[in-house]
Structure 1
């Protein structure tokens, strides 16, 4: 399953790259598709690319849903799998 995950940009870098925080995990992504993104912006990240800038409320609501179903995003952000047993 493909999933775009909200992330907050913590640093912009040369070459249209950015460092983002995704549920406490730092990742380097491309912001080629979202040139308007700035430090502090929330973006949807899919396959290493920011594909859309979103507002903070939307990002937080989505992150809360992901926290409720951690195995949905485990592969995307390397979250530990939670056992339901």
Structure 2
């Protein structure tokens, strides 16, 4: 399964081939923006993007980004419960 994670662009270089810094739930990562940069990279500063394997795949709105973050956090909180359930079935 492939998963895109929402993050906000917090720093950016002068051209589309430089990496931008994206904040994903408080963790900052360098991300390639060449797939989403049609004009000046500076216009992407502050935008929310969907990140997959080090690339910003699309620009998304803030509400969608926050809803996706909440869903991912909820899924991670259930992960140990699912693991416990699967462990019980293997006994």
TM range (shorter): 0.7 to 0.9
2:24 corresponds to 1:31? no
- The structure richer in strand per residue is 1
Q: What is the deviation of 1:67?
A: 0.9
1:52 corresponds to = 58
Compare CA radii of gyration and give the structure with the larger one. Answer: 2
TM-score under structure 2 length normalisation: 0.73
- Structure 1 unpaired stretches of 5+: 72-81
- Structure 2 unpaired stretches of 5+: 85-91
Q: What is the deviation of 1:58?
A: 0.4
The two structures, once aligned, show a CA RMSD in angstroms of 1.9
TM-score under structure 1 length normalisation: 0.77
2:19 corresponds to 1:13? no
Count of matched residue positions in the alignment of Structure 1 and Structure 2: 75
